[in-house]
Amino acid sequence: MVKLCADIEGLGLLGPGLDGWTNSGAVLEGRSLYVRQPTNVPIPDGLPPAERRRLGLVVKLALNVGLEAIATAGVEPDALPAVFASSGGDGQNCHEICQGLANDERLISPTRFHNSVHNAAAGYWSIATRSRAASNALCAFDWSFAAGLLEAMTQVVVDQTRVLLVAYDAPYPQPLFAKRPIPEAFGVAFVLAPLRDASSASPEPHGVATGVGSSATLGRLTLELSDSPPDRMGNAELEALRASIPAARALPLLQQLAQRKAGVVNIEYLDGRSLAVEVVPCS
C-alpha cells in the first residue's frame, strides 16, 4: 500500500466526559482527571425548524462534531467533500422500525423510513451547511473509523482537496443492545487537507472554492497498513471507551495530537491488521 499523507486543519469531538475538542485537550494530555459523564449532544445550528424536529441522536452527534471541526479549521463547508463513517447508523430509529413491523398493523412513518438510511447524517449535513459537495457514507463494523480515515485520506491525496471525515456511533436500545452493546454516544471529526507547501504562493488546495483555511495545521498524518497490534489508552476508563465504541477507536490518535508528540499510532482495521498513522505535530 502506498503511504497517504495529509495535514489536519480542524477537529471536533463529543463523547462521555469529552465535551468538544478544545475543552477535552487537558484530559487527553493527561493534565486533568477524566470524569465520565453522559455525552452532551445539543441541537445543532443551521437546520430549518422542520428538519430540527426530525433529528435523532446520531444525526445531532454527527452534525455537532462536523461543525466544530470546520470552525477550528476556519473553512466554509459548502464546497467541502465529506466522508461519514458509522458502525450502525441510527439504532433508536432501527428499534422503532422493528417495533412497528412487529405490530399487526405494521405501519412505518415516512420520517422513520427517511432516517433509516445509512447516509441520513450526510443528507442533514448538506441541508444544514448548504453543501453541494460529494459525500460518502460507509460502514465497516468495529473498524468503521479506520475505514473512514483511509477513505478520507485517499480522497485528499488523489483529488488534492480538503475532506471532512465524521465518525460517530450511539447506543441501540434493548433488546438490540444485548446483541450490539454500544454504551454511549461518541463522535469525532477531522478536516484533512493536502500537504501544505510553505513555498507555494497559493495555500488553497484544489477543489475548495471558499474558506481561506487555518494559518497553521494541527498536525500531519502519514498512513499505511501494518501488522502491529492496535494502541490502547493508558487511562482505564478511556480505554473502556475505545474498546466499546467503534468511533472511539480514534482516541489514541486524538491523544497523540493533544499531547503534540511525534510518533506512530496503530488503529485496528480489517483482517487483524492495523492502520499505522505517523503523527507529526505542528511546530
Separation between Cα atoms, residue 33 and residue 265, nearest integer Å: 23
Where are the chain's structural domains? Answer: 10-216
Other CB atoms within 10 Å distance of the CB of residue 105: 7
Amino acid at 184: E
Separation between Cα atoms, residue 72 and residue 75, nearest integer Å: 8
Positions of the chain with pLDDT lower than 70, given as ranges: 1, 197-216, 283
Q: What's the pLDDT tens digit per position in 134-178?
A: 999 999 999 999 999 999 999 999 999 999 999 999 999 999 999
Q: What's the pLDDT tens digit per position in 22-38?
A: 999 999 999 999 999 99
Q: Are 100 and 113 in contact (CB under 8 A)?
A: no
Q: What are phi and psi of 21, to 5 degrees?
A: -60, -45
| Residue 211 pLDDT | 39
CATH class of 10-216: alpha beta
Amino acid at 94: C
| Residue 202 pLDDT | 36
Percent above pLDDT 90 for the chain = 75
Number of continuous H segments (helices) and E segments (strands) in the chain: 10, 9
| Residue 3 pLDDT | 94
**Strand pairing of 163-169 and 82-85?**
parallel
| Residue 197 pLDDT | 64
Task: Calculate the average pLDDT of the chain.
Answer: 90
**Strand pairing of 163-169 and 274-281?**
unpaired
Rounded to the nearest angstrom, the gap between the alpha carbon of residue 92 and the centroid of all alpha carbons in its chain is 19
Cell readout for 56 is: 435523532
Q: Are 10 and 69 in contact (CB under 8 A)?
A: yes
CA 159-211-223 angle, to 5 degrees, is 40
Query: Running DSSP on this structure, what letter comes out for residue 265?
Result: E
Best CA proximity match to 8, nearest among 259, 214, 171, 237: 214
